[in-house]
Amino acid sequence: MKTTAKTVMLESIDPATDQVVGHVTVTPPDSIPEIVQHARQAQHAWSKLTPAQRADIIRPAAATLEEQAEELGELLTREMGKPLAEGVGEVRACAHGLAEELDEIIQAVAPQQLDDENSSTTLYHDPIGVVAAITPWNFPMMMPQWMVLPALITGNAVILKPSEQTPLIADAYAKILMDVLPEGVLQIVHGADDQGKVLVDSDVDLIAFTGSREVGEKIMAASAPGLKRLILELGSKDPLIILEDADIEAAAKYAARNTFRNCGQVCVSTERIYVHHKVADTFLGKLVEETRSFVVGSGMEPETIVGPMIHAEQKNHVIQQVEQAVKAGAKVSHGGHEMPGNFVEPTILTSVNHDMDIMIRETFGPIACVQTIENDRQAVDLANDTIYGLGASVFGKTSHAEQIARQLTAGMIGINKSVGGSSGSPWVGARKSGLSFHKGPMGHRQFCQVRLISTPKENS
């Protein structure tokens, strides 16, 4: 942060070049209670509108996002580091999602009628009040939208606190929405831990947070005295199981893509690979072949597939895990070479086991850890040997893979594919990967207070 005579400025740094991209004004922590109070006042009138009326107010923002996709995508890439095509794609996905999801949210929270022989009940999904949305840097526009959009359409006021690593793109996104919204319904708070702590302790009604398990636990503890509602998407250590009857080429392509995409900085990146011993050599050969084609560099370069880590601290964590694993007996089958700046070469480790930190603690980097298994039982036991449970994938003949999938503890399991479900599916974790969930009708309702109004039947 940079201090001037009157204000504190937060600088956004390009992780590929360490150059300053821009800056925003840091929100003074002591101003946050007033911001929350302003949100509460604005929410009163906002809540009186129907979901359809609120959606109609927000709907024009989709066209603005689409019109500015190239410009905003470049800003996103310069701030976060992902390849430019993915940065522009994230903005366009938000534009498309905003246009498509509004009606889905409206339908999800429509009143429902329940009747039996004695009574007639109407089930309502009402606003909760003021929502604090604390979002991460790895999908710096998509994750705010996952929280902000359903919170607003369901009648809440929102205070968005984006990651201090990517404030510019989140600020641009929020201002596009703020341009069409009534004043005070959406506000943005910039800063780091101090602002986050004050916001969590403030008079908000629900906290939606995506980030580390450690921070999620602190938020949960701080929220306990007020019994605040929580939506927490936390860490993960996603496994990929490759069965003896798998399509090995397809499995290797998926493993490479899902391990190294966004430099491994994805909540559902593949972090552990368990491959049947009879196909292990073939799989490893194809995985190495796929990985060799991944060009590392600035996201602004058109040939780049893998951009930088977000900052030096995250890079050091990844390198330290790799070095510890190698000292403990892991073998480097590809990569592992030192790279300058915040870059990490896509690396494949074999001869790994669960005595190593890299197989237990979240890495969040471009490291593929491949462990050979003897049978299905061992695959399930190892995949479930974690405190986490966000996603998992199984590659094999469909019926066989389904049997394995039903034994896994993850919230989302893909068979011969990624973990994402069909349209309308929630984004949900198990164990210490989170609490409540996002997306789809079930996720949208997490931002609501369920309320029942029942009347007796006249003939009862």
- Looking at this protein, which amino acid is placed at residue 279? V
d(CA 317, CA 357): 11
Check if the beta carbon of residue 441 is closer than 8 Å to that of residue 104: yes
The DSSP code for 245 is T
d(CA 400, CA 191): 49
Check if the beta carbon of residue 370 is closer than 8 Å to that of residue 347: no
Give whole-number Cα distances, 315 to 90, 386, 410, in Å.
23, 23, 27
Residues 6 or more apart whose CB falls under 8 angstroms from that of 118 comprise 456, 457, 460
In angstroms, the first-to-last Cα distance of the chain is: 68
Exactly one of 263, 267, 369, 448 is catalytic; name it. 267
CA 63 remoteness from chain centre = 24
Phi–psi pair at 262, nearest 5 degrees? 55, 35
Concatenated DSSP letters of 264-327: G-STT---EEEEETTTHHHHHHHHHHHHHT--BS-TTSTT-SB---SSHHHHHHHHHHHHHHHH
- Strand, coil or helix: 384: coil
Exactly one of 233, 271, 290, 362 is catalytic; name it. 233
d(CA 323, CA 187): 43
233 is catalytic: yes
User: How would you class 300 by CB atoms within 10 Å of its CB: exposed for 0-12, middle for 13-18, buried for 19 or more?
Assistant: middle
Concatenated DSSP letters of 202-215: SS-SEEEEES-HHH
Concatenated DSSP letters of 2-13: EE-SS-EEEEEE
Positions annotated as catalytic residues are 233, 267
